[in-house]
Amino acid sequence: MAILEVNDINVYYGSIHAIKGVSFEVNEGEIISLIGANGAGKTTILQTVSNLLHSKTGSIKFMDEEIHNLPAHKLVPMGLAQVPEGRRVFSQMSVEENLELGAFTRPKANIKEDMEEIFERFPRLKERRRQLAGTLSGGEQQMLAMGRAMMSKPKLLMLDEPSMGLAPILIEEIFDIIKSLNERGTTILLVEQNAQMALSIADRGYVLETGKIVTSADAKTLLNDDVVRKAYLGG
Amino acid sequence: MEFLFNLISGISLGSIYAIIALGYTMVYGIAKMLNFAHGDVIMVGAYICFFATTRYGLNPLLGVLLSMVVCTMLGIIIERLAYKPLRQAPALAVLITAIGMSYFLQNSAQLLWSSSPKVFQSVVGKGSIKLFDGALSISFVTVVTILVCVIIMIALVTFVNKTRIGKSMRAVSEDKGAAQLMGINVNSTISLTFAIGSALAAIAGVLLCSAYPNLVPTTGAMPGIKAFTAAVFGGIGSIPGALIGGILLGIIEIFAKAYISTQLSDAIVFAVLIVVLLVKPTGLLGKKVSEKV
Ligand SMILES: Nc1ncnc2c1ncn2[C@@H]1O[C@H](COP(=O)(O)OP(=O)(O)O)[C@@H](O)[C@H]1O
Ligand SMILES: [Mg+2]
């Protein structure tokens, strides 16, 4: 069953036509990779799904409900969370406060308990729980941004280039966590330039080029596709 | 003794500036705009309290509360009608709108309440505290103003740092997009900020007119500008900065009046501001504008 259905969206920055009639879907339980070069429009698509940007046409359905006219903050309690590009942690606030904000739409939840769960997954955050998020390293900030999104208990978690700027060993750690989140029931929409890594954990993938989806297939098929290999996997 | 008297008077005047400066600094922090109509909300607050207590004989405390309620609503309405439609507009358009709103409030007050001065009855009572065998006499208003400022500061800092809503305000002030991704309603956060700032403006208006009872439609203008100066002086966007900036400004003003020149006191205040901004452009407690990576 499709948890997210994006149908024919067109997004503009002023006169720049950044997304040109994109459609895709994410089924419950899947890991979907959206890959594409820098500037292809990956971030624009995620921002549009989160309603921080708006499409001029088409529809976006989350769990069969049209969300494309809702204000952005209403999507979080429905179960849609995003880890934005560049982490965007609240740098003047502590690690704990960032996590609390992740649970903002769940005022009655047992936040302490949920936070401990996040700390189990990211022990490094626990050691730094009272530190300002701005003082964390890039990898730690990525973990915090992920932990923060997980605090909202999303059904669908969208991640925008979680590997960006991280050392290979950290990238592996982050991807392991994404996989284990998925195994525990969270559907994942993963946006990456790092196509190799992204496709290696995905069920299916979409390839985006200058605002259009040019290919979509099983992740395995894409990994072995000649064109894709040439363009995104270094031959 | 005179020095001590001036110092306490300066702190008290500075407390009023600080309470007003909080409104400027919070709105700037959240909505990234300078609400130049803020000073005139003070004036409205003072008029409401004046009519409630002097004309209709309401208990002073109820008068202050009523004035807070009215100003809170006024602040929310101003934001909804004048500033919200300009969320995506260039900063200059917003600034001009704010200045226009300031004149609109002043002119409306003139129309409604006439420009003839009203004599404001202090809500605190006329007495004073005598210290050092009567050598130092400090009016109740002076003392109450300082106390109220301290209470407001403690309450506000606690609210912003410890409560869920306060934290969401800090999140909005840092990154509106990321805040929305947390499920925070940015529009209602901005409304709340205007509401808090305007309620504080009402308190400031009542305290100001309790100390300086001459109430006219332009009463809020000069304190408004000075408090804005105080906010910039302390570091705009910073709550402790508003406190420090306000108090310092009050002290400098009173000392300049007492020891240098009554006429030049305002010029001296602004000269100090300019020097501080030359040395530290972000103000005393201002944060560096962090680069987005
Ligand atoms: N704020 C903006 N204003 C104008 N153009 C933008 C803006 N953000 C992105 N773009 C343009 O939209 C296109 C897609 O950008 P983006 O979605 O960030 O791509 P990606 O995430 O795949 O790198 C690019 O051509 C980019 O230059
Ligand atoms: Mg991007």
pLDDT of residue B70: 98
- How far is it, in rounded angstroms, from Cα A27 to Cα B252? 66
In a domain, A115, yes or no: no
Given pLDDT bands bounded at 50, 70 and 90, which one contains residue B123?
confident
- How far is it, in rounded angstroms, from Cα A49 to Cα A80? 9
pLDDT of residue B288: 56
The per-residue pLDDT of chain A, averaged, comes to 94
The CATH number of residue A177's host domain is: 3.40.50.300
CB contact under 8 A, A90 and B170: yes
In a domain, A104, yes or no: no
Residue B62 above 50 pLDDT?
yes
Which domain, by its residues, includes A149?
A: 2-86+138-232
Both tokens of B28, joined, read 């700037």
- ipTM value greater than 0.90: yes
Both tokens of A16, joined, read 């720049």
A82 in contact with B at a CB cutoff of 8 Å? yes
pLDDT of residue A231: 79
- Per-residue pLDDT tens, chain A, 235 aa: give them: 899 999 999 999 999 999 999 999 999 999 999 999 999 999 999 999 999 999 999 999 999 999 999 999 999 999 999 999 999 999 999 999 999 999 999 988 889 999 999 999 999 999 999 999 999 999 999 999 999 999 999 999 999 999 998 999 999 999 999 999 999 999 999 999 989 899 999 999 999 999 999 999 999 999 988 878 877 776 6
- Over residues B7-56, the pLDDT tens digits come to 999 999 999 999 999 999 999 999 999 999 999 999 999 999 999 999 89
pLDDT of residue A81: 97
> Which residue among A73, A91, A100 places its CB closest to the CB of B180?
A73
CA of A39 to the centre of ligand 2 (A): 7
Q: Show residues of chain A in contact with B187, CB under 8 Å.
A: 71
The per-residue pLDDT of chain B, averaged, comes to 93
Split into its structural domains, chain A has a count of 1
Helix orientation angle between B239-255 and B265-279, rounded to the nearest 10 degrees: 140
Mutate which of B84, B160, B176, B181 to disrupt the A interface (most A C-beta within 10 Å)?
B181
- Percentage of residues of chain A with pLDDT beyond 90: 89
- How far is it, in rounded angstroms, from Cα B43 to Cα B112? 13
Ligand 1 pocket test, pick from A11, A16, A52, A189 with the greatest ligand atom count within 8 Å of Cβ, gives A16
Identify which ligand lies nearest to the alpha carbon of A35. 1
- Over residues B258-282, the pLDDT tens digits come to 999 888 888 988 888 888 889 888 8
- How far is it, in rounded angstroms, from Cα A162 to Cα A172? 11
SS (H, E, C) chain A: CEEEEEEEEEEEECCEEEEEEEEEEEECCCEEEEEECCCCCHHHHHHHHCCCCCCCCCEEEECCEECCCCCHHHHHHHCEEEECCCCCCCCCCEHHHHHHHHCCCCCCCCHHHHHHHHHHHCHHHHHCCCCEHHHCCHHHHHHHHHHHHHCCCCCEEEEECCCCCCCHHHHHHHHHHHHHHHHCCCEEEEEECCHHHHHHHCCEEEEEECCEEEEEEEHHHHHHCHHHHHHHCCC
Please state the pTM of the whole predicted model: 0.92
In a domain, A132, yes or no: no
- Mean pLDDT for the stretch of residues B98-123: 95
> Which residue among A76, A86, A102 places its CB closest to the CB of B293?
A86
- Mean pLDDT for the stretch of residues B226-247: 93
